[in-house]
Structure formats: structure tokens, C-alpha cells
Chain A
């Protein structure tokens, strides 16, 4: 029997915004957990009341922009932020937007573009990602080399803490080192420190010109060799990405071979010259169908193709292994990786973010993820990198045979979480133990 008091929830957000019929709940949920109710708050004070109620009744609660991951909240509450979807302010003078967390990432990008501005972080999932989720996940992406990772774009926020208190922090200053840096620390905490209810987002002026250069290659190694060539020539584009043959068709229908996508955001004059240089390097490196794309519609298609492939990997974390090495270590990394995976082009999914030295692998059905991650991590460590995130940290400690470091790190992480969420109410499905 669940402790959730549905009538109290209805009292907080109104009957229409509490959903407890299984069939209606389904579209808001993903994962194996079985929450008893979906609740859609309309403002900060409602969020706060719901969280306080969860604390009083000792009920678990998980949050999502449009869709909630139900892991760990069986018998609990799924909170969907989609009603809090307003862009409250677009401040041109300070290059700041004030937004609610439920604004869809893709809609935000449209509004920002209409305003002649730029919000660089890529959507995690093209259709359903929210701006709140973007900062809760707080990833880096293939544009981070030029623009910085996601956290760079958060200047402040309002947050409902796991105890229901409201915390307001930050301002529109682009330079701010006051207090401890909780503003950026909260980015990537996956809703364990609190629920974002308002975000102060840093924006940039839109680039004067955008172009892309694409080309296809017979092998991943050949394609990647052109990246190294570009770096050696000190050509550092906005994106320098590679998709293996199996996934390339999803990015650009009809593609034969591995697809290279070079994104150039910047000024008109240099953009022309760099595009020509990139095209020449790709062609000399064995690329076919090398093409400079200047048409806006076609440019958007190419970039959206990339985002779709990225989202495909993001959607299945349990079947994905991701690692980074230095960008110039990539030839060795790919060569060694092939020994583990077989032909990289035929593998279910391989993407390379060349500027970050990042590789994402979509695993074949039935792969033992941990076993592969262990091997990949060894490979990456021998090249100065490691598997991404918490898992990587754990595997690294394993290789160092330094159980103590891992223990220290996890105990520090759980102490931090405990300080903010003494009852363990919020997003219990998020693990800090890998």
C-alpha cells in the first residue's frame, strides 16, 4: 500500500494535474518502477508543497521535464515539469534568458535563434528534452571545445530542495565568484540536490555565419586521420564529428560508409577559407562526396542528423560505453578498440567527437557492459583518458588498485547527498555508486 495522499496532492495542484490512472500515466513514465501518481505542478510553491508532503509521508519522488525515469519510485510520486514551460525573460542587453525548467530544449533553441542569440548546449533527446533536464544532466557535448560544457551557461537558479525549501541563487553577472560555487556544482547533480524551478541561462550572440562540411569515408581510421590533420593545422571547428557506417544512415539517409560532419560557426570571412581548407583535407584524406553546405535548411538537416544519433546513444545508457582520450590519441584508441569490437564500421554504433577525443559505443545486444567497459577503460587509461563519469572513476580506481580513493569519493558524494536530502526522498533512482 502506498502512503501517497492523492487528495492532498489534488489540493495542491488541482484535480486536473494529478493523474493516477495507469493508462494515462504511461506517457509520462519510462523505466521499470511503478509510481502511483503523476503530478504536474504549475509553479514553484506547488513544487515546494509537493516535496514537503513527500517528506512528511516519507514517499519517494522523481522529477522529469516531460518524461520521468521511474527507477526507485515504486509506490511514489512522478513529478513532470511540463506545465512550467514559460520563457520568462529574454534579456538582450545582458545576454541572459530566464526560463522555467519545463521549457522544451528544442523550443528554447527556436526562441533563442529568433532573438538573434545562441544557446550552445545540445539537446540530450531531440524531441522531449527540457532546459531543466539539460542542466540537471549537465553534460558536455561535441560543441564544448568551442563553447564550454553545459554548466558554463548557467548563471543562477531557483530550486526546491529535497526538504521542500526554496533556494534562490545567482544573478545576471557573467562573472561571479561569490560564496561557494553551488551554482555550477548543482549542474549535473541529476536532481539530487533539488528541483530546478527557474533558470538564469547565459546566452551568446548568434554566430555571423554557419557552414558545415560533410564527407564519407571507407574506414573510421581514415576519417579520423583527417581530424588529426586538421588539429595539426590548427583548424579547430565548432564540431568535428564522425559516425560509423551502421549509424550514419540514421543521420543522413542513403549514406554509404562513415559520415564526417564538420560544423563551422563563426565569421563569414574566415568561415569561407576554413570550409575550403577542411574540404581539401577531407578530400585528400580519402573522403568521398565531400561537400560544403551553406544552405540553411540543409545545414539544419545535417546537424539534426547528428543530434538524432547522439540522442539514440543517450537513450540507452545501459547499452552504451563512453570514453575520452586526448583528441590526438584517437588513432591509437580506435586501433586498439577495433581489437575489442571487430570492424568499427559494422559495430552497432560508434561515434567520435573529434575535438573532445570522445568515443561513444552502442553495444550489440547481449553484451556484458561492465566487462567491456573494463577493457575499454584500460585502453583509454593507457592513452591518458578514461571511461566517462562515475563508472570511469570507479574503473580507474580499480586499475590503480586504489580502493581507498574510490571509497573516499563515494563517501564524499553520499555525504553531500545526505546533507541535502536527509530522508533520501528525491530521485532515488540516481546512483552515486556506479
Chain B
């Protein structure tokens, strides 16, 4: 529990209504997108960088740890107050300071919701490419923390590729600025890059300079339906070999086709082994050529291939994919989501590996994947209330991670490590790499006060 003195000081810093200490209030900040939970000592919501600095200093005086939080949609346990700590919530720092389309930069506070920024940008025919599926709720600060991905990464990369600079409050309460409004401003080391994806373990981000780009002039959306998942992977490999970089190569397997059909009635055959959503963007005059190349490739092996002819048809195609995670809830009440990633050439083997894990552990697994990136989301369906089943699921998740590593991949392509995958981290990284992480953490936060226990232990 927080002492009255600390609570009083916090209220002085951020205002009465921006401090939560009651049991019910705290409960809501104890969860994120995972099945984990914790309980914070208190929740404080600053509105300015100066307040963040004051909070950090106060916490240091009283030796209290801090867990940063945006919307809490992450899939890593990164915002769970797992150790005795105060949650610092950035949802009140929601200003878009500036959108400068002429110079391709926007300056935002960390609590700005990704979607809200996109809406503002769209008015000016611009966008911010990182769009994790949680983008309607998740914050830019959270995207920075986890280095979020999304369906467009094959062409456009992940969050780190769109962060030009940051304002950061360090664990000692000092403020630094990393990078700036352009590519060329890093001070010696690329501090921006190490803070992006560090899940708040190195510093608290209070301002973000994001790179924005014009919405492509043209886009084409295609759907290919296959008998087998392997056939879909073949199309992916052939498209890349043809020198085309689609924005999106989204795959869903038979299980997901059926659960989404229950929900959307999009008309995808229920006996199909896989569907692939393919999207290309660019100049209008290049679209026909690319669509033809992709069509020729897909048709050699797909049972059906179609090109969306209207915005409505594009929406129809995407509705299935967007409802994939939600749709499985009709089958079982809980699901565990994973973001293992393998080199593209090992994608078919990874699909095989998922099937094997499902069989070995006798669990139901559906697969959604960003196939161009080799990034899979195996969804393990179960009932969290059944303790035994839950343990089996955890064992299956571990097996999936090990499978990805055996295929020279990574345990996290876009969700981050947080608490959920921390235990597997030393399977992916050698002792020297683990020690490099600790050296970095020690340089920023020698007393381990910022988001303790996430990613690595000191």
C-alpha cells in the first residue's frame, strides 16, 4: 500500500482525480491483452512531461517502482504490475502537437490512440504505417513500447521504422531528447532505436516524433483460396521471387475460415485449406501489371482467385481477417495468441510444426499469419477456467516457441517479450547477448525501477 504522504504528493502533482488507489479502480489496471493479472499500488495519470518528472522523482525518493501503461492492449504482459509498483498511465497525454504533412512528420503525446492519429492524418491524405490489429484502442506510446507490427509490415516495416525521435524521462528523473524531426539527428548512439521496443524498461516516453507518409495513390486487394496451407505458402514464395513486395500477405487456415464464416458469411468455402489476402499499393498505372503477375502465380495452384472490384468488396475480404481473433470465442471461451516468426522459407515447416504441436498436446489451434513476414499467430483455443487444460496450453505455447527457434526464427515478431515470453528469452539469445541487454538496462536504470521484471531480469 502507498503511504498517505505519497498519495497526497501524487495528488498534488497530477490533481485529485488523476490518482487511483481504491481496490476496484486498481483492478482495471491489473490486466492487459494476456491472461495475466497483477495489482498496482496505485495508478497515476500525468498530463505533462513536468508531471512525469515529478512523479519519477517522488517514486525514487520512496523507492517505488513504476510500470508505464497506455491502453493495455499488449499481448506480452508488458503492462502488468507484477511487482509492487505504481502504474503510470499515459492515457491523459493525448495531444497531437503537430501534423506537418509538408515535412512528413507528426509530433504526438504518447497517449494518442493510433486510430485517432490515423483519422487526423487521413483528412490530409497521409497515414502512419504501423497499424497493429489493436489500432482502434492502442496508443502510440504503447506501439513504441512494444514496437508493434501489423499487416503491412512486409512492405512498410514495424513501428521502429517510423519513429524519428522521442522525448524521454529517464529513471533518474532527467529528460532527454533522442533523434528529432528527421533522419539525421541521433546523438552518437541511436538511442531512439533502443528505447523503441524496450517496453518502458529504459525510459518513459513523453513525446513522439513519428514519420508520416502520403496514402498510396492506388491499392488492389486480392483473395486466393487454396486446398492446402502449403499451396498458399508456395504462392507467397513465388510472389517474392517475382520481385513484388505486396503490402500484405495475410493467411488464415481452415479452422479460422470456419469460425469467421460463422460470423461474417463472406462466402469462403468451408472446406478450403487456406485463404490468402494479398494487397499491393503504389501508382495506379503499375497496378494492373502486378495484379496480373500475382494472379498468374496464384492461379497455377489456388482453387479460386479474385480481385476486389470495389471498396465494398475490399471490405468484405478484410472483414473475415479482422474478425478472426474475435470469431474463435464462439468455439471456446479463451484463446492464447502467439507471434512466433520464422524466415519466410521456413514458413511451410512452421505451419507443419503448429499442426504437430496441436496433435502432440491435443489442443485446438487455428492459424492466422502475416505470411510474407513468416509471422504466425497460432491461436490456441481453450477454457481458462479449466486449470489442467490451461497448463497444457502453456506447455503447447512453449513448444511453439521452441519450434520457431528450431526453424531459426524468433519467439516474437511483433508483440514483444514482457512477462509472457521472458522465460524463453535465453533460448533465443546467447549468454553474451543476454548480458548485452543487461548492460543496456544497467546503463539506463541501474536500480531497476522502470517496469521491473519485464523483458529481462537484472
Binding site for B on A (CB under 8 A): 91-96, 116, 138, 140, 144-145, 148-149, 151-152, 161, 165-169, 171-182, 184-185, 187-189, 193, 204-206, 208, 231, 234, 236, 266-270, 273-274, 322-329, 356-358, 384-386, 388-390, 392-394, 396, 404-405, 408-409, 412-413, 415-416, 419-420, 432, 434
A176→B286 CA distance, assembly (Å): 30
Q: Flag if B433 contacts A182 (CB, 8 Å).
A: yes
B105 partner residues in chain A, CB cutoff 8 A: 326
B429 partner residues in chain A, CB cutoff 8 A: 169, 178-179
A393 partner residues in chain B, CB cutoff 8 A: 185, 187-188
Interface size class of B (residues with CB under 8 A): 35 or more
A152→B421 CA distance, assembly (Å): 25
A152→B153 CA distance, assembly (Å): 13
A409→B153 CA distance, assembly (Å): 32
By beta carbon, the residue of chain A nearest B430 is A168
Q: Is the C-beta of B244 less than 8 angstroms from some C-beta in chain A? A: yes
Binds A, one of B35-43, B86-94, B411-419: B411-419
Measured CB to CB, the closest approach of chain B to A147, in angstroms, equals 10
Q: Flag if B243 contacts A181 (CB, 8 Å).
A: no
> Can you offer 12 A-B residue contacts whose CB atoms are under 8 A?
A148-B161, A161-B432, A167-B433, A175-B375, A176-B412, A178-B429, A180-B436, A182-B194, A188-B190, A326-B105, A385-B180, A419-B442
Measured CB to CB, the closest approach of chain A to B397, in angstroms, equals 15
A168→B435 CA distance, assembly (Å): 12
* 7 closest residue pairs by CB, A with B: A326-B103, A270-B283, A205-B243, A393-B187, A172-B343, A419-B439, A328-B102
A175→B374 CA distance, assembly (Å): 8
Q: Flag if A356 contacts B147 (CB, 8 Å).
A: no
> Which chain B residues (398-429) contact chain A, with CB distance < 8 Å?
408-417, 421, 425, 428-429
Q: Flag if A208 contacts B194 (CB, 8 Å).
A: no
Q: Flag if A177 contacts B197 (CB, 8 Å).
A: yes
Of listed B190, B197, B441, residue having the most chain A CB within 10 A: B190
A266→B287 CA distance, assembly (Å): 12
A289→B341 CA distance, assembly (Å): 51
Q: Flag if B343 contacts A96 (CB, 8 Å).
A: yes
A266→B282 CA distance, assembly (Å): 10
A189→B443 CA distance, assembly (Å): 16
A167 and B432 in contact (CB under 8 A), knowing A173-B374, A188-B186, A405-B176?
Answer: yes
The one of A95, A96, A151, A388 in contact with B184, judged by C-beta atoms closer than 8 angstroms, is A388
The one of B184, B194, B285 in contact with A324, judged by C-beta atoms closer than 8 angstroms, is B184
Q: Flag if B443 contacts A419 (CB, 8 Å).
A: yes
Q: Flag if A151 contacts B190 (CB, 8 Å).
A: yes
Q: Flag if B184 contacts A269 (CB, 8 Å).
A: no
Measured CB to CB, the closest approach of chain B to A422, in angstroms, equals 10
B194 partner residues in chain A, CB cutoff 8 A: 180-182, 184-185
The one of A140, A165, A269, A328 in contact with B432, judged by C-beta atoms closer than 8 angstroms, is A165
By beta carbon, the residue of chain A nearest B285 is A269
Q: Flag if A185 contacts B432 (CB, 8 Å).
A: no
A168 and B432 in contact (CB under 8 A), knowing A93-B345, A173-B409?
Answer: yes
A91 partner residues in chain B, CB cutoff 8 A: 345
A269 and B415 in contact (CB under 8 A), knowing A171-B343, A179-B456, A432-B188?
Answer: no
A405→B180 CA distance, assembly (Å): 14
A323→B188 CA distance, assembly (Å): 15
Task: Annotate B201-212 by CB proximity to A: 1 below 8 A, 0 otherwise.
Answer: 110000000000
Q: Flag if B157 contacts A151 (CB, 8 Å).
A: no
The one of A93, A323, A356, A394 in contact with B344, judged by C-beta atoms closer than 8 angstroms, is A93
> Which chain B residues (288-344) contact chain A, with CB distance < 8 Å?
289-290, 341-344
A167 and B197 in contact (CB under 8 A), knowing A327-B102, A358-B182?
Answer: no
Measured CB to CB, the closest approach of chain A to B156, in angstroms, equals 10
Measured CB to CB, the closest approach of chain A to B288, in angstroms, equals 8
A176 partner residues in chain B, CB cutoff 8 A: 341, 410, 412-413
Measured CB to CB, the closest approach of chain A to B213, in angstroms, equals 8
A181 and B146 in contact (CB under 8 A), knowing A152-B157, A412-B444?
Answer: no
By beta carbon, the residue of chain A nearest B242 is A205
The one of B103, B408, B425 in contact with A171, judged by C-beta atoms closer than 8 angstroms, is B408
Of listed A180, A204, A269, A396, residue having the most chain B CB within 10 A: A180
Task: Annotate B152-163 by CB proximity to A: 1 below 8 A, 0 otherwise.
Answer: 011001101100
B375 partner residues in chain A, CB cutoff 8 A: 173, 175
Measured CB to CB, the closest approach of chain B to A359, in angstroms, equals 10
By beta carbon, the residue of chain B nearest A95 is B240
By beta carbon, the residue of chain B nearest A141 is B183
A413 and B455 in contact (CB under 8 A), knowing A172-B343, A180-B197, A419-B442?
Answer: no
The one of B182, B245, B413, B428 in contact with A357, judged by C-beta atoms closer than 8 angstroms, is B182
B440 partner residues in chain A, CB cutoff 8 A: 180, 182, 185, 416, 419
A386 partner residues in chain B, CB cutoff 8 A: 180, 185
The one of A168, A231, A274 in contact with B102, judged by C-beta atoms closer than 8 angstroms, is A231
Measured CB to CB, the closest approach of chain B to A272, in angstroms, equals 8
Measured CB to CB, the closest approach of chain A to B139, in angstroms, equals 17
A169→B435 CA distance, assembly (Å): 12
By beta carbon, the residue of chain B nearest A400 is B177
By beta carbon, the residue of chain A nearest B218 is A270
A420 partner residues in chain B, CB cutoff 8 A: 436, 439
A384→B198 CA distance, assembly (Å): 27
A95 partner residues in chain B, CB cutoff 8 A: 240, 344
Q: Flag if B185 contacts A266 (CB, 8 Å).
A: no
Q: Flag if B441 contacts A180 (CB, 8 Å).
A: yes
Task: Annotate B244-257 by CB proximity to A: 1 below 8 A, 0 otherwise.
Answer: 11000000000000
